[in-house]
Amino acid sequence: MSGDGRFGARLRAAMDARGPLCVGIDPHPGLLSAWGLPDSPSGLERFTRTVVDALGDRAAVVKPQSAFFERFGSQGIAVLESAIRQLSESGALVLLDVKRGDIGSTAAAYADAYLDPASPLRVDAITASPFLGFGSLTPMIEKAVETGAGVFVLALTSNPEGPAVQHAKTADGRTVAQTIIDEVSQVNAGVSPLGDVGVVVGATIGETGHDMSSLGGPVLVPGLGAQGGRTEDLRAVFGDDLSFVLPSYSREILSQGPSVARLRDSLDRLMDACRRTVQPIG
């Protein structure tokens, strides 16, 4: 697929129009309780509907965390399907946080589940784990490019267990994370204004010495707000050019519910901070 139908082009346009910010929908039990909602499919549905109604027409990207829907079985998946549909109708790009990673026909099945236009779970992009080998993601990446979708590949995560794998050195002296970044760079080569494949880099990792200058695609940055990361710290991780960075907030915004006005005010406040920090292309 070429032109404006590609995910990277649509993401760039959405970030320019609505601002460089991704909102996570993470309806974990504690948050449902804080909203005065039961930890049940009905509570999940009310929570999700409120977030979608409040923010779907304002955020460039909305990122439901699939696990919090899956735990309710078919009823939770039904809520997720409805949210995906409503968010798409509101003009937001939907990034499903599923972190899938497998091989062969199973990886292809995941690609069909989330990236095929005929699927009820079709979204604009997914997160994926490359730690079975970057090549294992080929079916997902090929499906994404074919259908105008995107894939965000885990590279440098904020969890304390991550560095043991991601900072490990390969035979050629690069870290595992650097090989992932370099593989993504090759996929995105020659694609403008943004490639369709991005990476996930935690906001709290600090300066690691990894080179993302040739990435050519977006960087999803979770871990901001309640998890300790600050927008003003992004330059320590990415340098002066932040035009490809998509900051992601979840609890910092969601904690303001169930008030729609407070949810929107929180989004607007954080969006202003992101606009001041993340410089637009051009």
Mean pLDDT of the chain: 93
Percent of the chain with pLDDT over 70: 96
Percent of the chain at pLDDT above 90? 83
Whether 88 maps to a domain, the answer reads yes
176, part of any domain:
yes
What pLDDT does residue 282 have? Answer: 43
What integer pLDDT is reported at residue 206 of this predicted model?
77
State the pLDDT at residue 241.
79
In a domain, residue 282? The reply is: no
E strand segments, the chain: 22-25, 61-64, 93-100, 125-128, 150-156, 197-201, 219-221, 245-249
**Total domains in the fold of the chain:** 1
- String of DSSP letters for 232-268: GGHHHHH-S--TTEEEEESHHHHTTTT-HHHHHHHHH
Residue type, position 176, single letter: V
Q: Is residue 149 part of a domain?
A: yes
Q: Which residues are catalytic?
A: 99
Range of the domain at 25: 3-277
Is position 164 within any domain?
yes
Query: Which CATH number goes with the domain that contains 77?
Result: 3.20.20.70
Asked whether residue 20 is domain-assigned, the answer is yes
In a domain, 167, yes or no: yes
pLDDT at 223: 80
- pLDDT per residue as tens digits for the range 118-162: 999 999 999 999 999 999 999 999 999 999 999 999 999 989 899
Q: Within a domain: residue 212?
A: yes
